[in-house]
Amino acid sequence: MSNIAIDLTGVSKSYDDKVVVDGLSFTVAAGECFGLLGPNGAGKSTITRMVLGMAPPDAGKITVLGMPVPARARLARGRIGVVPQFDNLEHAFTVRENLLVFGRYFGMSRSEIEAAIPTLLEFARLESKADARVNTLSGGMKRRLTLARALINDPQLLVLDEPTTGLDPHARHLIWERLRLLLARGKTIILTTHFMEEAERLCDRLCVLDGGRIIAEGRPHALIEEQIGCPVLEIYGGNPRELRALINPYAERIEVSGETVFCYASDPEQVRVQLRGRADLRVLQRPPNLEDVFLRLTGRDMEN
Amino acid sequence: MVEGWAAAMPANAWNWIAVWRRNYLAWKKIAIAAILGNLADPLIYLFALGFGLGIMVGPVDGASYIAFLAAGMVAASAMTSATFETIYAAFGRMHSQRSWEAILCTQLTLGDIILGELAWAATKAFLAGTAIMVVASILGYTAWPSALYALPVVVLTGFAFASLAMVVMALAPSYDYFIFYQTLVLTPMLFLGGAVFPVSQLPSAFQQVGRFLPLAHSVDLLRPALLGRPGESVGLHIGALCVYTVLPFFLSAALLRRRLMP
């Protein structure tokens, strides 16, 4: 039992007759980074709320760190750190005060919290901002403070709900680097995201969700290999229907998303030959990624 | 569902203190403005009505009108400060600042948060009510040491009105709805509850309604204490304020659980 951090069995949840999570089962091993990937409305946030005991499931069984949830969610939360999707720091407080106030919510004494603060500030690269008010911090700093705050109780498990949404690329990379450090220290992470790059970089395993159901599960690269397994050509600019007819014989599969034609071809050169001389087209060749997996499985792109 | 109820109830007898201390820290940063803001309104009423109207009405119930009014203003300021702390400040912490959401990810339960907010609102009520008592005492309108009995009553009044406001807050979709509670419930209560004139002035139907209002129970406890007279039906009034504290607490916990932990 000790090497399983999260176990969901047949979990369902509906709001107003709308099924948000539909008979979901998955297991997260201790020390692993598990990703919940899917478009907005796929049920990702509802799953994290259920794991935290903040939404009771209609059916199914949830066990977190060996404790049944929501029955013993309060105890489980004592060993969990949470980075929420929306900023809920105390904006009128300083960085240090945020950590102090939050530590008290875990029953920590002032001296325990003050002993932990220097390490947390260093981890979040906020040493020089200890006495700055939160509303003077940049978006990336606020998110790092949220991450530091989530670590105040030295949790075994981190629940991250879209941890880098809204951050610029530099700030995002810094968060990813910090998260990898936490994984190296043996923390377990469950992460929701709609950035495939984030999932590919961080997750040991992930599941792709759509309509509250798992439509694929596995290691990122195995999933890409198994579902796509060949290079991708992205073609912009032409009439998608006409292009499809033109290149169809040379492609394993073609998907159209908006004005872009995604052409999956084990021999992309042959496709390029067909398109040669078409000045109106832009053609990009790249390795397959999780976005392609998602597009293949749902026929839609992830952002929608 | 037993599990659901556990999440809506306080986990233990001390968790709420962390919420109280969070609010205290935030208040400390703006304390002077907050105290002046809290005090100005009831003091203006006390002096304007006490002196202005007092000249015309003469003694009321055997006391000068301003001394009579002092107890009403202490009760009314406890009522308004506990109410406003809950429907505006605590609602903001729940709704727009998302502080409650952050706390719900920790070892505190929803019940701990509600209890902490009630205790904080009662603290604000205590500060506001006590400040008026101090001013009234300095000017010689209160009787000592019996006025000290008023202090726990002010706290209990704060708890009762915070608890009632918590129910209103739990039901309100946005700030816009609170004006109805203020104008349709609190303002009439100020008059029907005997804060500014004796209830015996009212038609008997209104008197009957007035007797049940939490402010009336608070005034009936505070006025004898501040005027140095023996209180009547003290146990009944204290019991009524306790009921006004405890029942809305459970109701608001149930409503907020549905709202925040669906």
pLDDT one-digit tens code per residue, B12-69: 999 999 999 999 999 999 988 888 877 787 788 888 888 888 888 888 888 899 999 9
Main-chain phi, psi angles of A279, to 5 degrees? -70, -20
| Alpha carbon of A260: minimum distance to chain B alpha carbons (Å) | 39
Q: Which residues pair with A208 in a beta bridge?
A: A37, A216
Q: Looking at the domain assignment, is residue A137 inside a domain?
A: yes
Instruction: Please check whether residue A146 is in contact with residue A87, taking contact to mean a CB–CB distance below 8 angstroms.
Output: yes
A299, part of any domain: no
Q: Which two tokens stand for residue A35?
A: 């990703």
How far, in Å, are A120, A270, B45, B221 from residue A70 at the CA level? Answer: 29, 56, 51, 44
Token digits of residue B209: 């309604």
**Chain-centre distance of CA B75, in angstroms?**
8
In a domain, A296, yes or no: no
pLDDT computed for residue B36 by the predictor: 82
Over chain B, what is the mean pLDDT?
92
The DSSP element (H or E) to which B55 belongs, if any, is helix B54-57
Closest Cα in chain A, distance from residue B153 (Å): 30
Residues of B in contact with A16 (CB under 8 A): none
Q: How near does any CA of chain B get to the CA of A173, in Å?
A: 25
Contacts of B115 in chain A (CB under 8 A): none
Please report whether residue A85 resides in a domain: no
A239 and A106 in a common domain: no
Chain A residues within an 8 Å CB radius of B18: 101, 104-105, 107
Length of chain B: 262
Burial readout A2-34 (b: 16 or more C-beta within 10 A, e: otherwise):
eeebbbbeebebeeeeeebbbebebebeebbbb
> Which CATH number fits the domain that encloses residue A218?
3.40.50.300
Nearest beta carbon to residue B11 from set A70, A74, A88: A74
Which pLDDT does position A304 carry in this prediction?
46
Query: For the residues B189-208, what does the mean pLDDT come to?
Result: 92
User: Which residues constitute the domain of residue A244?
Assistant: 230-287
Residue type, A229: G
Same domain, A124 and A191: no
Inspect the interface and report whether the beta carbons of A70 and B105 lie closer than 8 Å: no
In a domain, residue A34? The reply is: yes
* Residues A254 and A164 grouped into a single domain: no
Residue B207 CA: distances (Å) to CA of B164, B199, B204: 22, 6, 5
Of A129, A146, A163, which residue is a domain's last?
Answer: A146
Q: State how far the Cα of A123 lies from the Cα of B239, in Å rounded to an integer.
A: 53
**Could you tell me if A234 and A220 lie in one domain?**
no
Pair of tokens at residue B109: 């339960």
Residues A140, A163: one domain? no
The total of structural domains in chain A comes to 3
Judgement on whether residues A52 and A162 belong to the same structural domain of the protein? yes
* Bridge partners, residue A35, by sequence: A191, A206
**A185 φ, ψ (degrees, to nearest 5):** -85, 5
CA nearest A13: which of A58, A45, A53, A54? Answer: A58
Provide residues of A within 8 Å CB-CB of chain B: 15, 52-56, 70-71, 73-75, 77-78, 80, 82, 84, 86-93, 97, 101-102, 104-107, 153
A120 in the same domain as A209: no
Asked if A121 and A262 sit in the same domain, the reply is: no
Q: Report the alpha-carbon distance of residue B193 to residue B231 in Å, rounded.
A: 17
Both A122 and A19 in one domain: the answer is no
User: In this predicted complex, what is the ipTM?
Assistant: 0.90
Q: What percent of chain B has pLDDT over 70?
A: 98
- A91/B98 Cβ within 8 A: no
Position A301 scores a pLDDT of 58
Question: Which residue segment(s) compose the domain that B241 sits in?
Answer: 2-260
Please list every residue in chain B whose beta carbon sits closer than 8 Å to the beta carbon of residue A78: 107
Question: Total domain count for chain B?
Answer: 1
Query: In the structure encoding, which two tokens stand for residue B228, read together?
Result: 């140095």
Residues with Cβ within 8 Å of A162's Cβ and at least 6 positions away in sequence, in order, are: A44, A85, A192, A193, A194
- For residue B42, the model assigns a pLDDT of 78
| Partners of A257 in the β-ladder | A260
CB contact under 8 A, B105 and A77: yes
- Edge-to-edge strand order for the sheet containing A205-210? A80-83, A157-161, A188-193, A33-37, A205-210, A213-218
What is the pLDDT, as a whole number, of residue A66? 95
Largest CA distance in chain A: 72
Do A203 and A119 sit in the same domain of this protein? no
Which residues of chain A make contact with B94, given a CB cutoff of 8 A?
A: none
| A132 lies in the same domain as A17 | no
The helix/strand/coil state of A13 is strand
Q: State whether A164 and A216 are in the same domain.
A: yes
Chain B residues whose beta carbon lies within 8 Å of the beta carbon of residue A54: 104-105, 260-261
CB contacts of A93 in chain B (<8 Å) are 25-26
Whether the Cβ atoms of residue A4 and residue A176 lie closer than 8 Å to each other: no
pLDDT averaged over consecutive 10-residue blocks of chain A (304 residues)?
87 93 96 91 91 95 95 95 94 97 96 96 95 95 96 96 90 94 96 88 92 91 91 88 86 85 90 85 90 80 52
Among all residues of chain B, which has the CA nearest to that of A110?
B18
pLDDT of B1 > 50? The answer is no
A interface mutation test: which of B93, B105, B109 has the most A CBs within 10 A? Answer: B105
For residues A284 and B81, give the distance between their C-alpha atoms in angstroms, rounded to a whole number.
Answer: 64
User: By the 8 A CB rule, do A285 and A231 touch?
Assistant: yes
A245: amino acid identity, one letter:
A
| Confidence category of residue B156, pLDDT binned at 50, 70, 90 | very high
What's the pLDDT at B4? 66
Q: DSSP state, A133? A: B
Report helix, strand or coil for A39.
coil
Smallest Cα distance from B177 to chain A, Å: 24
